[in-house]
A and B are shown apart, each in its own frame.
Chain A
């Protein structure tokens, strides 16, 4: 008798131990996955956060040297200001930081502390404050990428002079400016507003954000209605026969087709046969729609299938037509699931790069696109473009762009979860 009890206890302990081991495996697997995600995020964040602020250098600009009376600016149109010759005036304003410099070479070095567009920045300042310009105005000019990186501590100063882009004399200038309190940081708004640029300190993700948004908009407009209607037809109306089986199998196959194939399709048919404009969000959106459609159709069909048949019968039994039963009762219940599928499909499309490379959305585009018919980049393609550039400024901007992309993806997935929570039918 006691033997049997002992045996039972032994066997029970064995089972409990194996359960404990199993749990440890599971927790281990989860921690491993989580650790990698964390490392990824930390890595991207630590190298990307500095792109969100930028170095500016304070320069006193004596506008009186440009014009006899600064109140005259208020009477000038923007065009007049654009026609003003300001290049040497701007340079002189910068030279005033170090009035003792005589040599032309050193002056050139001083100018190179600033972004190449310093003249343009002074002009913009003048344009937006023209009614209110004093004899001398303090303007914060964008520092060049090298200075920016030195200031952020990303640049090894102890390299030999001929191995670095920033020269000793520039470092001297820079340190002196820092001591005089003329160097400061500010939030990098231009990074979010501007398009791409050959100068790292001037390059922005604004163009690719707008490009991505236009692309996603096109995807949404095309694939949401087509996907929903196709799913409703297949699930609710199509006769169950070999043809619909064949269609179903092929939709599932389509979901597994590598995305670059869709890019080739876009190149061959949409660009070359239909002649739609190259590099545009419209074409990108069409190609990504093809990729997103199967996801939406599969998700929508699954949520339609999950609606209990009794609801359809209930509607039919009061004399609703098939379409009324489906549209009034089945589709509303299935909608949260369909929307979730759509958002997940859109998120996939947002992060997709390969097909966009083939249809030319990899072009260097300086202007922020105004319509889906303008040439543009997109966020993932921007990451690809900048990751190939050598300048340090692009390194942090690559990571910052990835952060923006991840941010959008997280927002979209959050929206999917919230929609499901809010509109899910409770039985």
Chain B
């Protein structure tokens, strides 16, 4: 068994009066892909956004319970959220490159964190990140063109490059392929296979096939509760809960 990277313990999340997550406890292994599946509104996006505290942006959102990354409580009062997000990168559902050049998109993170001291260091980081995101060959001649001018799949890989530019341990992906066509999706999935040698990846997906293809462990959410989490093969071949069985066989969701 791999070592545990993230551990959530009795996590409850409220949006105002409404409770979105109920007592979620699970762990995620280092340098593995963990998939979170479930019908719309089941809380899987809420859960993933707790892991880099993106929910802090929402005023009415309240988080109870504990999330530990490498044994450190990320909701501890002395945890700085900017530092946390440097270690836990995120890729969103809709590609959201900054309306700046491709270079600037990737260079932004290293620049604000002061990772690169010289311009040459920065260039190296940009090139490496783009290479890791399997985008470099397509854009190497137009690094200073607008990032928003790329195709949807390229934009999403640019966002992945942006996420890995600050050298995080963990990459969160919130339905990264839902706005992409099957070919672009296949490229991103392939990329995830490469990235998991270096990064711990958590992916939220609507596609059960995708979860089955890319992940080693899968968690199934339903109505704000974590119904079941297990090895991916087990979830898809021999789930222990009836609701999981119904969902993966397409009876609801």
Which residues of A pack against B, CB within 8 Å? 239-240, 308, 310-321, 324, 328-329, 333, 425-427
Closest 8 CB pairs of A and B: A310-B96, A318-B109, A317-B90, A319-B86, A319-B85, A425-B99, A314-B96, A319-B82
Are B90 and A319 in contact, with the CB atoms below 8 A?
no
List residues of chain A with CB within 8 A of the CB of B52: 317
Are B113 and A319 in contact, with the CB atoms below 8 A?
yes
How long is the Cα–Cα vector from A328 to B108 in the complex, in angstroms? Answer: 9
Are B82 and A315 in contact, with the CB atoms below 8 A?
no
Q: Which of B157-165, B229-237, B243-251 contacts A (4 or more CB under 8 A)?
A: B157-165
Query: Is the CB of B112 closer than 8 A to any CB of chain A?
Result: yes
How long is the Cα–Cα vector from A328 to B98 in the complex, in angstroms? Answer: 10
Are A314 and B83 in contact, with the CB atoms below 8 A?
no
Give chain A nearest CB distance to B218 CB in angstroms: 24
Are A313 and B57 in contact, with the CB atoms below 8 A?
yes
Are B165 and A318 in contact, with the CB atoms below 8 A?
yes
Identify which of residues 51-79 in chain B touch chain A, using a CB-to-CB cut-off of 8 Å: 52, 54, 57, 59
Are A329 and B98 in contact, with the CB atoms below 8 A?
yes
Give chain B nearest CB distance to A182 CB in angstroms: 66
Identify which of residues 77-130 in chain B touch chain A, using a CB-to-CB cut-off of 8 Å: 82-86, 89-90, 92, 94, 96-99, 108-109, 112-113
Are A319 and B112 in contact, with the CB atoms below 8 A?
yes
Give chain B nearest CB distance to A338 CB in angstroms: 16
How long is the Cα–Cα vector from A308 to B97 in the complex, in angstroms? Answer: 11
List residues of chain A with CB within 8 A of the CB of B94: 310
Contact status of A311 and B89, CB under 8 A, knowing A318-B162, A319-B112: no
Are B148 and A426 in contact, with the CB atoms below 8 A?
yes
Query: Is the CB of B204 closer than 8 A to any CB of chain A?
Result: no
Are A318 and B166 in contact, with the CB atoms below 8 A?
yes
Query: Is the CB of B146 closer than 8 A to any CB of chain A?
Result: yes
Identify which of residues 159-204 in chain B touch chain A, using a CB-to-CB cut-off of 8 Å: 159, 162-163, 165-166
Give chain B nearest CB distance to A334 CB in angstroms: 11
List residues of chain A with CB within 8 A of the CB of B59: 239-240
Are A310 and B148 in contact, with the CB atoms below 8 A?
no
7 more CB-based (< 8 A) A-B contacts, given A308-B96, A316-B54? A313-B96, A317-B89, A318-B165, A319-B83, A319-B113, A328-B112, A425-B148
Give chain B nearest CB distance to A236 CB in angstroms: 11
Are B97 and A320 in contact, with the CB atoms below 8 A?
no
Are B109 and A319 in contact, with the CB atoms below 8 A?
yes
Are B92 and A310 in contact, with the CB atoms below 8 A?
yes
List residues of chain B with CB within 8 A of the CB of A312: 57
How long is the Cα–Cα vector from A328 to B162 in the complex, in angstroms? Answer: 15
Partner of B54, one of A317, A329, A333: A317
How long is the Cα–Cα vector from A300 to B94 in the complex, in angstroms? Answer: 26
Partner of B98, one of A239, A240, A311: A311
How long is the Cα–Cα vector from A427 to B112 in the complex, in angstroms? Answer: 24
Partner of A324, one of B57, B97, B112, B166: B112
List residues of chain A with CB within 8 A of the CB of B96: 308, 310-311, 313-314
Identify 9 residue pairs between A and B in the complex whose beta-carbon atoms are under 8 Å apart, listed by A's number.
Answer: A314-B96, A315-B98, A317-B52, A317-B92, A318-B89, A319-B83, A319-B112, A320-B108, A328-B108
List residues of chain A with CB within 8 A of the CB of B89: 317-318
How long is the Cα–Cα vector from A320 to B105 in the complex, in angstroms? Answer: 13
How long is the Cα–Cα vector from A304 to B23 in the complex, in angstroms? Answer: 37
How long is the Cα–Cα vector from A251 to B2 in the complex, in angstroms? Answer: 58
Contact status of A311 and B99, CB under 8 A, knowing A318-B89, A318-B162: yes
Partner of B99, one of A239, A313, A317, A427: A427
Give chain A nearest CB distance to B17 CB in angstroms: 17
Are B112 and A320 in contact, with the CB atoms below 8 A?
yes
Are A319 and B159 in contact, with the CB atoms below 8 A?
no
How long is the Cα–Cα vector from A333 to B85 in the complex, in angstroms? Answer: 24
Partner of B86, one of A239, A318, A324, A329: A318
Give chain B nearest CB distance to A323 CB in angstroms: 11
Partner of A320, one of B54, B82, B99, B159: B82
How long is the Cα–Cα vector from A318 to B97 in the complex, in angstroms? Answer: 12
Give chain A nearest CB distance to B199 CB in angstroms: 15
How long is the Cα–Cα vector from A110 to B57 in the complex, in angstroms? Answer: 83
Are A318 and B112 in contact, with the CB atoms below 8 A?
yes
Partner of B85, one of A239, A240, A310, A316: A316
